Amino acid sequence: MVEPIDDATTAERTVEHLTAAERATAGQKARAAVPRRGHGDWAAASDRPDPVAVLEAQAVTRVPDLVPIRYGRMAASAFAFYRGAAAVMAADLGAMPRTGLVVQLCGDAHLANFGGFASPERSFVFDINDFDETHPGPFEWDVKRLVASIEIAGRGRGFTAKQRAAVVGLSVSSYRETIRSFATMGNLDIWYAHLDIDGVVARWGREAGGQVAKTVQRTAAKAESKDRLKAKAKLTRLVDGQLQFISDPPLLVPMSEVFAGEDHELLEREIHHALRLYRRTLSSERRHLLEQYRYVGGARKVVGVGSVGTRSWVTLLVGRNDDDPLFLQVKEAEASVLEPYTNKSPFANHGQRVVVGQQLMQAASDIFLGWQHVDGIDGRVHDYYMRQLWDWKASADLDTMTVDAMRVYAQMCGWALARAHARSGDAIAIGAYLGKNEVFDQALGAFAVAYADQNERDHAALVDAVASGRVTAQSGI
């Protein structure tokens, strides 16, 4: 079984080195245990948890006044519900037969969790970009999460069943063919593989009459402007000669407004202290760079859909002057939704779990990615991971995406997911399991349809829970 890298125990582990033939045989044997056609089967178990109850259980550890925002965002559409329902699907996947071909999973590999961002070398790369739920598990869980999201998003866009099936099929075939390609490559070649603008244009630039290449180039150009200086202009203002976060409740609230008096002072000290300790999780040269920045202040920032209600802060640091800002997101990390259905995380800090999983799966990760504990004013110790807030980040507009664009985007996601799995798992075994034909592709197509139907029922259950007053939702935020 492939496990996340734990620096404290890596030197003590014994790693088994099988031949390529033995690894291929392992993949072939997995077919006997879990036939590829079987992945198309989906039916809710008789003891399936109530999806609203699953969300309510998550709300127990979240900021109470933010939970209604989460419900409001999830109730907006079937796709929005799916984005926030990783825990619901984790329970469903955990009840299904599994191949035993383990990789480092993203844990929430839906369409909106892929996108573009800057590499440390300042090139624009496409990859998975959310790892809150990362955890080791069977490779097919990520693929199923992806294909169901494609089917659900396609329904939201009004695509026909035939169009949706074609897009799902392209995504799975892209994953299968890519991982089989990586199975023929050396380990270092897999590790260095990445998808930049040139790679996207080379693979898919001619599709849709060349519009893909133009769209990717426009997106990259726009993303380059979404940087720390734009964050400074949008999120801060100058007060008495010092930069401060603006107040835009409930989405952005300075710490002084979240907590008053001694509680505010305590939280400021804890965040500042955690940032100092967090430096130890960085490599020495990156620690040196961070130490050249001075802490100014912080604010609570609401982000995403599924993570709304977890404690998420944004901190401002400045370098040589106010025109040299650094914004770090300090985001709470709880146990992965996959953990109850696999193995317990080997990490004492779930922030470290996120960081290690991200660095293992991504071709290029943020230079300030690290982790630390923070003592909360609620008397609990919270795990956090830290990263830059904006660094050329770009995401696809799924609300306006055409069929032709989604065909290409789905293939890009399949490629990126396969590359991530090839880095952390056994590409030879997975490739042998998937095979050359489209049996797995067709099975996943059937699963996507069946699970999208289930998601619509779950979304309706949340809407009904809001209407009945079971849960309180705050919409339009």
Q: pLDDT digit string (tens) for 275-329?
A: 989 999 999 999 999 999 999 999 999 988 989 999 999 999 999 999 999 999 9
Q: Which residues of 302-324 are buried (b: 16+ CB within 10 A; e: fewer)?
A: bebbbbbbbbbbbbbbbeeeeee
> Reduced to 3 states, what is the DSSP secondary structure of residue 302?
coil
In the chain, the amino acid numbered 229 is L
> Reduced to 3 states, what is the DSSP secondary structure of residue 298?
strand
Instruction: Write out the H or E segment, with its range, that includes residue 124.
Output: strand 124-128
Is residue 2 predicted with pLDDT exceeding 60? Answer: no
359 touches 369 (CB < 8 A): yes
Q: For residue 233, give both structure tokens.
A: 């202009």
Integer CA distances (angstroms), 240 to 228, 237, 243, in order: 22, 10, 8
Q: What's the CA gap between 194 and 178, in Å, rounded? A: 12
* Other CB atoms within 10 Å distance of the CB of residue 22: 12
Of 36, 49, 35, 38, residue with least CA distance to 454: 49
392 touches 223 (CB < 8 A): yes
Is residue 397 predicted with pLDDT exceeding 90? Answer: no
The pLDDT, as a whole number, for residue 205 is 73
Q: What's the CA gap between 329 and 271, in Å, rounded? A: 11
Q: Which residues of 58-89 are buried (b: 16+ CB within 10 A; e: fewer)?
A: bbeebbeebbbbbbbbbbbbbbbbbbbbbbbb
Burial of 158 (0-12, 13-18, 19+ CB in 10 A): exposed
- pLDDT-derived band at 271 (thresholds 50, 70, 90) equals confident
Q: What's the CA gap between 118 and 151, in Å, rounded? A: 29
63 touches 56 (CB < 8 A): no
Q: For residue 339, give both structure tokens.
A: 């953990």
Q: How far is CA 363 from the centre of its chain?
A: 14
- Torsion angle of C-alpha atoms 406, 412, 417, 423, degrees rounded to 10: 180
Q: What's the CA gap between 323 and 232, in Å, rounded? A: 9
Which residues of 54-154 form beta strands (DSSP E)? 102-105, 114-118, 124-128, 135-138
Predicted TM-score (pTM) of the model is 0.94
pLDDT winner (highest mean) among 96-110, 228-242, 299-313: 96-110
Integer CA distances (angstroms), 197 to 120, 132, 175, 202, 212, in order: 15, 26, 19, 9, 11
Tens of pLDDT along 201-226? 888 877 766 676 677 777 777 777 77
Task: Find the angle CA(298)-CA(303)-CA(304) to the nearest 5 degrees.
Answer: 165
Contacts of 419 (CB under 8 A, 6+ apart): 178, 182, 190, 193, 194, 195, 363
Tens of pLDDT along 121-137? 778 889 999 999 999 99
Of 418, 410, 406, 414, residue with least CA distance to 174: 414
* Other CB atoms within 10 Å distance of the CB of residue 25: 15
> Reduced to 3 states, what is the DSSP secondary structure of residue 47?
coil
Tens of pLDDT along 323-382? 999 999 999 999 999 999 999 999 999 999 999 999 999 998 999 999 999 887 788 889
